[in-house]
Structure 1
Amino acid sequence: MIVNTELEQKGNLFPSEIINYKKDVDTLYFTTKNSVVLQVTVVRDSVIRFRYSTTGKFDNDFSYGITIHASRGYNFLDVSEEDKYYVIKTSKLICKIEKQSLQVSLYDAKDMVLINQDEIGFHWEESYEFGGDIVKMSKISQKAESYYGLGDKPVDVNLKGKRFENWVTDSYAFGKNTDPIYKAIPFYTSIHDNKSYGIFFDNTFKTHFDFAQERRNITSFWAQGGEMNYYFIYGPQMSDVVANYTDLTGKPHALPPLWALGYHQCKWSYYPESNVKQITQKFRDLKIPCDAIYLDIDYMDGFRCFTWDKNYFPDPKRMVKELENDGFKTVVIIDPGIKIDLEYDVFKEALDKDYFCKRADGPYMKGKVWPGECYFPDFTKPEVREWWSGLFQELIEDIGVKGVWNDMNEPAVMEVPNKTFPNDVRHDYDGNQCSHRKAHNVYGMQMARATYHGLKKYSYPKRPFVITRAAYSGTQRYTSSWFGDNVATWEHLAVANNQAQRMAMSGFSFAGSDIGGFAEQPQGELFARWIQLGIFHVFCRVHSSGDHGDQEPWVFGEEITDIVRKFVEIRYQLLPYLYTAFWNHINNGTPILKSLVLFDQEDQHTHYRSDEFVYGEQILVCPIQEPNAKGRRMYVPRGKWYNFWTDEVIEGGKETWVDADLDSMPIFIKEGAVIPKYPVQQYVGEKNFDEITLDVYYKIGKEKSQLYDDAHDGYDYKKGRYSLRTFKLTGKKKEFILQQHKEGKFDANYSKFKIVFHNLPFTVTSVQIDNVEIDLNDLNSEKHSITIDKEFTELHLFGK
């Protein structure tokens, strides 16, 4: 056993030698002389769970993070005993457990390369203040190992050399490197020797991660209570690690309605009704596409949730209907704090039913939020979640609101030093009663879960749309998210770029920043550059605090208005591409945004790149992140890429300068891609169009692209009423073939594809569609386009 004198002096305790081993199907138990038990569960060939007890007894095995739909089962499992180790083998992994110390090392089963190795491994310290243990794990950081993930941390994409705390925190006007902030996602991925693995530390107490900061070659993670309980997830591709983590913690329960992927406008606050109507009318007058308008806390009566201020909104049902007639979905805010007011039905009912959180000795948890003094529902109790979901009936079913935005759900409390509940607040935790120390990081998640189920119930047969600020691993099952109260600075633009990438590689793709910054006032140039980035985030919303002036697209002058319109129109043209990427995310756990390391981990130049990312599978984006820029240097991944604006083809695998005046930004399309585009609409569903465009980017060789479609709302797609088109492109020097494979029962409204060819290297001499030659006059030689029936099977061009 490794003895660490310094750690021993700090009161750390260690497992002793193994004295007993038993196997129960897929779960193995190793017991040490000093009563430590290691439970090893083979979840899948590439996923192994490690769970430690210091008392010989495990707590009830309950997790909000793990979904009941997680895949389980393996192809091969063998356990053997050697002189110094127990050896567990699957088809992907070999796990060795040292008999003298319980230390774990993991190897690739194919080539026996060491992937991950305990340093001290599991150790603990007794918590005399709270009881139980402070549980710790230390591992050796391999040579040139890099680390990624942890959700919304406002730092560069690579986490090497940094240290973090996971404690969901209302962090108004946070800055770069502020920690902790709004989310607790205790999952990271690592890469070394071109092999990637992930660790999900499923512990909801305050957790810490140290990526070789305190000790150069050591990575560690620990928690202030609970169990040492983590999942080891092996790739070796990082994309597989993220997909397997997302499978464990859950994919979104349903596709979002397509309108939720449009442009959204929000401010604290749009009121009264005349102001809301003025804003929405301006969008239509200026022809800037927009699908959603938000109402912040001022729509309520004295900030009481589920009420309306009838002075500002005398007839909300009529207003919401009129907005919908003009293409605007209404999204309203709902916070967890319920005003203490016996005349207020929501408060009275929760009080009567004993649904509010209590302190250890019995009094209710009381705290100040926007309405004044409030009590707070215990969303970790099933009956409370059911009650909460029922409160949405009037908002959704009667008034017609289409989305709900959960804010302040860290939970945030004003005028107290720690900004949240005291540690002694009690929670039901689905029958596993506990203190706030354990429930804090999942409180916002469970509120969002209850909100989601309410919207799902009362929006049916339409799909729900929920946003949350606070989150724990698995929250992506229920909601989208934003990154909280940022600031209108260039630094925050760069931070938003990194946060979106990190959230996507942490299983949470449906996320975005407050475009333009929530606090302070952006200059027009910053706002334009932020819009350019924001249209490539899955959740696309402008939001500001409103106390520093307006932040609508038109307030910065005509030049900025035109730039905003131009890029929002690109967002709307690319909606079928984004929708397809979302379908792929839901089916396969594939991140919609990919940091370059996630896109091409074999290229070591990508391991420290933070600015560039791949949107979907085939669009490369690099925002301009500093003022007065006429362009920037960026790293282009390996392969050939088309400049979106000029069709110039560049060879990747190196840095390059890209021109980008204020009305442009670096966007590239992967060679061989087929990019679907809608005509520009002012809102989703505004137009019934007969054709959509397929931009085909020529390549010598083969490439595959997809186009997913369905009714854009409702659940019929789950019954097979969807359309999935796979396009296979084959390019030769004087020949080009585009094949289409179709599946699904859905028949889209459009009947034609306008196929636009980019960079055809030959003059077309004949065209065949499904082996039938067509008139060359059907080919627009100037624009290199042809319009054909959407049901074609093969398009064949011959040239000279």
Structure 2
Amino acid sequence: MIRKYSYGQVFKTESVPAALPAETGAMPYMAVDEKEMSLTRTMDPEDIVYGLGENVRGINKRGWIYESKCSDESKHLEDRRSLYAAHNFIVVSGKATFGLFIDYPGILTFDVGYTDLSVLKITASDWNLDVYVIEGDSVTDIVSQFRALIGRSYIAPLWAFGNGQSRWGYVTAEDVREVVRKHREGGIPLDMVYLDIDYMERFKDFTVNRERFPDFADFVRKLKEENIRLIPIIDAAVKEEKGYPVYDEGIEKGYFCTDKDGKPFVGAVWPGRSLFTDMLNKEARDWFGDKYRFLLDQGIEGFWNDMNEPSIFYAEDRLSEVLEEIAGMREGGQNLDLPAFSHFQDLVGSLSANAEDYKKFYHSVDGRRIRHDKVHNLYGYNMTRAAGEAFERLVPDKRILMFSRASCIGMHRYGGIWQGDNKSYWAHILLNLKMLPSLNMCGFLYTGADIGGFGSDTTEDLVMRWYALGIFTPLMRNHSEMGTRRQEVYRFRDLQGFKEIIGLRYKLLPYLYSEYMKAVLDNKMMFRPLAFDHPQDGRCATVEDQLYLGDELMIAPVYEQNARGRYVYLPERMKMLKYTREGVFEEKILEKGDHYVQVGLSDVVFFLREGHLIPLSGGGQCVADVDFDNLSILSFGEDASYEYYHDDGVSKDYDNPANRKTLRA
């Protein structure tokens, strides 16, 4: 059961497509304090708090304070309070189990036992919000109801489940050709190469640098003949440059965000002085979305949206103030003592993503001017919505790959997300795992992390262990930052190990795609904490480094350097499957309980539940090579069966009953 409670003058975020009438009585479970603008609950010691989508720390969110504030935050550390997303959905599981969704576009704070270990307190920046209270038979039932409430999740094309290679630094067409050539020569499956900002003409959206990519459309066509898709990046900011058509049109039609005086707001991102399309203005959103046609017409079938929190390197007026004060320091002598030097550092640090700068520009919504900070978390959502709605107009019968960095609930209907600019840290393998169920709860199914880590120098063993998790996530992409160690797998010593791990992804594709599609269509979670399936097993409530994938598998990656294996807890009898560098499965039945499992560096270990089976293909060098009809089976137990979903992977006849059939051992 879902009940809605409305407070103040609610801004319509469209995160919830259907209109529910508001209740008039008191809200259950939470104490409402309109003066303090908060919702509060005293938690029982055993209560677990799940959700919040993309964020730091554990699957159980107790013990920290989180902000729903889309932030350009590259330090994914325990002391952070927000990352790139605002996913305002939680489930409290305990003696009373219920879900809460706060439909609110501004900054929201979730104090989940931080100030007081026993108190959950949610505080808004102003008191204009809808609160949905969801009750059900279980956590999974509550999640399923919520997913139905917010609408069907984005569905990616089948080829987007292949292996993707990316790096900020593929500057020319020849750089891309080398990546493809090295993968094919090494027998490493590959379906996508991503283009970061270097393909553009001086960082301008919807342009191509013709010197670096002389005949872009022909280049795209020839790569597609090799079953390789190019996936270009699109940034949120538009370069200020007369003669640049996107800028000129936006100025002429008034489609950019404005300052308090009604003039276009100028900030800076990659191109320097930049303007920001008013994504909350429907006309501006449609206009920006139609710009994707420039690349669609050249054969592009997928995009990734970036810098759309939106990221602001500096605002013009603040830069002037900081430079003026620094100039004054120079005139007064450069002998900076500790307080003066600290002030200097704070000055420079105040330039980027300054909270005050987000109060300096405005959106035009239905004839009203709304200050950006009041609706901040809607920007990335509506940028990706602009693209998704344009794709429906421009290529209505075709699926286009789309995922974004910034998001809030509602954007899940238009694209997936990647888990942001992580680092080459072993701890970030585990963070990748922990985010998966939280994101699934919030409707984000097409997701994954930058394998190997985006920032910092990686190591061969880190990349290999990360792939052993990444082959299970819908979005599978190796991505790294310019200036860091190159981490394409063909650059490392154990090419055979990487070849077999990535090859296993393609053998698992019939199962993985089937589970993804069923999770989308049936409002289920592809990845679940063990406690969701075993609520009476207290041990499962503490396990945060193992997940169920579908109803059939349990995954438990190795995430510590130099480890030769790991301990796993089995809440029931399972069959351990170890895929080795020889390309074969070793099988062993393990009873319920604790086990130490040896996992060689190039091994992939996962667990099959009793009474279940999974389908396997023969693999391939790209998704087009994979045979989804002539399948082999891995099974455990008598009378094992599996509901197998498959479609053409391109069109949108998702609900056709012919897409589902039962496989039996």
Structure 2 unaligned runs (5+)?
315-350, 579-584
Question: In the alignment, which residue of structure 2 is the partner of 1:426?
Answer: 362
Q: Which residue of 2 aligns with 1:52?
A: 7
CA displacement 1:209-262 (0-9 Å, x = unmatched): 111222233211011014242111112311111111111222225x32111111
**CA shift in 2, pair 1:228/1:711, >3 Å:** closer
Q: TM-score, normalised by structure 1?
A: 0.75
Deviation at 1:403, TM superposition (A): 0.5
**TM-score of the pair, normalised by structure 2:** 0.90
Per-residue deviation, residues 149-190 of structure 1 (Å, max 9, x unmatched): 101112111111221111110012332342211001011111
1:622 corresponds in structure 2 to 556
Structure 1 partner of 2:630: 691
Residue 611 of structure 2 corresponds to residue 611 of structure 1 = no
1:545 aligns with 2:481: yes
CA contact (8 A) 2:278 2:363 kept: yes
Secondary structure of the corresponding residue to residue 604 of structure 1: coil
Q: How does 1:160-559 map to 2 (within 5 A)?
A: 160-193=62-95, 196-253=97-154, 255-396=155-296, 398-415=297-314, 416-419=351-354, 421-429=357-365, 433-557=369-493, 559=494
Deviation of residue 458 (structure 1)?
3.2
User: In 1, distance between residues paired with 2:393 and 2:620?
Assistant: 30
Residue of structure 2 aligned with 1:712, choices 638, 641, 649: 649
Closer, same or farther: CA 689–513 of 1 in aligned 2, 3 Å:
closer
State the alpha-carbon separation in 1 of the partners of residues 281 and 424 from structure 2: 39
Report the CA distance between 1:323 and its aligned residue: 0.6
2:590 is equivalent to residue 650 of structure 1: yes
Give me the whole-angstrom Cα distance separating, in 2, the residues matched to 1:419 and 1:315. 41
Q: Deviations over 1:501-552 (max 9, x none)?
A: 3212332121111110111111100110011111111211110003123110
What SS does the corresponding residue of 2:76 show, helix, strand or coil?
A: coil
Aligned partners of 1:327 and 1:281: how far apart in 2?
12
Contact kept in structure 2, 1:406 and 1:469, CA below 8 Å? yes
Q: Secondary structure of 1:298's partner? A: helix
Relative to structure 1, the CA distance from residue 151 to residue 299 in structure 2 (aligned partners, 3 Å threshold; closer, same or farther) is: same
**Could you tell me how far 1:703 is from its partner in structure 2?**
4.9
Higher strand share: 1
Q: 1:708-736 deviations in whole A, cap 9, x for unaligned? A: 11111112345x37421124xxxxxxxxx
Q: CA, structure 1 residues 697+430, in 2 after alignment: closer, same or farther (shift >3 Å)? A: farther
CA shift digits 1:472-507 (9 cap, x unpaired): 112111101111111101122222221223212332
Deviations 1:373-416 (A, max 9, x none): 001100011101111121111210x2101111100000001132
**CA distances 1:406-453 after superposition (whole Å, capped 9, x unpaired):** 000000011324357421311124556421122211100000110122
Give the total of aligned pairs: 622
Aligned counterpart, 2:496: 562
1:664 shift after superposition: 1.4
Pick the structure with more helix per residue: 2
Q: Residue 51 of structure 1 aligns to a residue in which SS?
A: strand
Structure-2 separation of matches of 1:683 and 1:417: 41
Q: Alpha-carbon deviations, 1:319-371, whole Å to 9, x = none?
A: 00111001101110000111111110010001100000011222211111111
Return closer, same or farther for 1:646/1:257 CA change in 2, 3 Å cut-off: same
- What SS is found at the alignment partner of 2:152? coil
Distance 2:128 2:654 in 1: 41
Contact 1:674 1:694 in 2 (8 A): yes
Q: Percent identity?
A: 28
- 2:267–2:274 contact (8 Å) kept in structure 1: yes
**2:16 paired residue number:** 66
**Equivalent of 2:620, from 665, 678, 681?**
681
For residues 313 and 417 of structure 1, do their structure 2 counterparts lie closer, same or farther at Cα, with a shift above 3 Å needed?
closer
In the alignment, is residue 725 of structure 1 matched against residue 661 of structure 2? Answer: yes
Correspondence for 2:56 among 119, 132, 154: 154
For structure 1, list consecutive stretches of 5 or more residues without a partner in the other structure: 1-45, 54-58, 74-87, 89-94, 106-115, 126-133, 728-737, 739-754, 756-800
Structure 2 CA distance for partners of 1:157 and 1:388, relative to 1, 3 Å: same
- Offset at 1:455? 3.0
Paired residue for 2:319? none
1:280 deviation in Å? 0.6
Relative contact order, higher structure (CA 8 A, sep 6+): 2
Q: Which moved more, 1:330-339 or 1:600-609?
A: 600-609
How far did 1:67 drift?
2.1
Q: Distance in 1 between matches of 2:536 and 2:367?
A: 46
1:704 deviation in Å?
Answer: 4.3
- The letter for the 2-side match of 1:428 is S
CA gap 1:286/1:341 in 2 versus in 1, 3 angstroms: same
Note closer, same or farther for the CA distance 1:177–1:622 as it changes in structure 2 (3 Å cut). farther
The match for 2:529 is 595
Corresponding residue to 2:34 among 96, 100, 124: 124
- Partner Cα distance (1:173, 1:212) in 2: 23
Contact 1:317–1:400 (CA under 8 A) maintained in structure 2: yes
CA shift, 1:690, in A, is 6.4
Using the TM superposition, give the Cα deviation of residue 575 of structure 1 relative to its aligned residue in structure 2, in angstroms. Answer: 1.1
Give the whole-Å Cα distance in 2 for the aligned partners of 1:693 and 1:584: 20
- CA separation of 1:468/1:225 partners in 2, compared to 1, >3 Å: closer, same or farther? same
RMSD between aligned residues:
2.1
Residues 593-602 or 145-154, more deviating: 593-602
Task: Give the distance between the partners of 1:312 and 1:469, measured in 2 at CA.
Answer: 26
Q: Is the counterpart of residue 633 in structure 1 residue 567 in structure 2? A: yes
**Residue 671 of structure 1, aligned match among 593, 610, 615:** 610
Aligned partner of 1:662 among 598, 601, 605: 601
Check 1:263–1:722 CA distance in 2 against 1; reply closer, same or farther (3 A cut): farther
Q: Deviations over 1:736-786 (max 9, x none)?
A: xx4xxxxxxxxxxxxxxxx6xxxxxxxxxxxxxxxxxxxxxxxxxxxxxxx
Q: Distance in 1 between matches of 2:127 and 2:134?
A: 21
